[in-house]
Amino acid sequence: MLLAIDAGNTNIVFAVFDGAQQKGQWRIATDSRRTSDEYAVWLVSLMAMRGLRPVDVTRSILSSVVPAATFNLAKLCRDHFGTDPMRVGDPSVELGIKNLLRNPREAGADRLVNAVSAGASYPKPLIVVDIGTGTTFDVINADGDFLGGIIAPGPQLALDALHKVAAQLPKVEIVRPEQVIGYGTISAMQSGMFWGYLSMIEGLITRIKAELSPTGTPPVTVVTTGGLGSVFAQATHMIDHIDSELTLRGLRLIYERNATT
């Protein structure tokens, strides 16, 4: 079986695949101080609840945007599962798509994984909107290659920053207000975060489409993923697909592409 690890700035997600079938998925808050042994105690216990044992894992793949956590995650694979992980971003790992950034090294591993996964699952060209700690718009052309995109702060990050620097503004949760006009501080903040971010998402999708496919032919498919992807997608007609499994499926696909070469 394959152990896939997606290490993001907020959470680290682990999944075990038996072929294309996902046997289990678990997430833990990202903490670069956590050791490989600590990961193992937590993960092995949860795997056991699904009837999975460490010896069942014979392969692993790792995507990380948190360099300080990468070492211990790789050590987890080697010491507790007996497998040296394939690492997205390593020059020896073939993605099956071209990275067309002017400096290809600048592309985050998660963005490349999402590009691979979306290109294999949906009609191209594509925009992948990943709404998490950051909000990223990844653009895939008609050939399935990664063109680049846009990076902005995520809604929760912006909300936390607003609370931190403005003494009289409370910490509020992200919800969809029924009205755009807020009739109190909390409702005004929630409207700004939700409707403001949704307007940004819709505006940037419109501008990207105009650059990527000026005539509208071929049409551009828009996919969203990430922790808050579904929250915003349900309030707009501009997102075609919600795909919470996009990154993990991409990791499995990248491993399979390289395992046969």
Q: Which domains does the chain have, with CATH numbers?
A: 2-87 (3.30.420.40), 104-250 (3.30.420.40)
Residue 12 labelled as part of a binding site: yes
The 10 Å Cβ neighbour count of residue 195 is 17
pTM, to two decimals: 0.89
User: What is the per-residue DSSP string for 196-248?
Assistant: HHHHHHHHHHHHHHHHH-TT--SPPEEEEESTTHHHHHTT-SS--EE-TTHHH
Question: In terms of Cα–Cα distance, which of 84, 85, 111, 88 is closest to 100?
Answer: 111
Residue 259 has pLDDT above 90, yes or no: no
Helix (H, G, I), strand (E, B) or coil at 186: helix
The residues, any chain, with a CB within 8 Å of residue 71's CB and separated by 6 or more, are none
Tens of pLDDT, residues 36-93: 999 999 999 999 999 999 999 999 999 999 999 999 999 999 999 999 999 998 989 9
Question: In terms of Cα–Cα distance, which of 256, 260, 230, 232 is closest to 243?
Answer: 230
Residue 111 labelled as part of a binding site: yes
Q: What is the mean pLDDT of residues 151-158?
A: 87
Among this protein's residues, is 56 annotated catalytic? no
Res 115: pLDDT? 96
Residue 120 has pLDDT above 70, yes or no: yes
The 10 Å Cβ neighbour count of residue 206 is 10
How is residue 141 written in tokens? Answer: 């052309």
- In Å, the largest CA–CA distance within the chain is 60
Residue 13 labelled as part of a binding site: yes
Confidence of residue 189 (pLDDT cuts 50, 70, 90): confident
Q: Considering 56, 110, 138, 243, which one is annotated as catalytic?
A: 110
Res 164: pLDDT? 79
Phi and psi at residue 146, to the nearest 5°: -80, 115
Res 172: pLDDT? 82
Residue 108 labelled as part of a binding site: yes
Average pLDDT, the chain: 93
Question: In terms of Cα–Cα distance, which of 12, 28, 15, 9 is closest to 248?
Answer: 15
Measured in residues, the chain has a length of 261
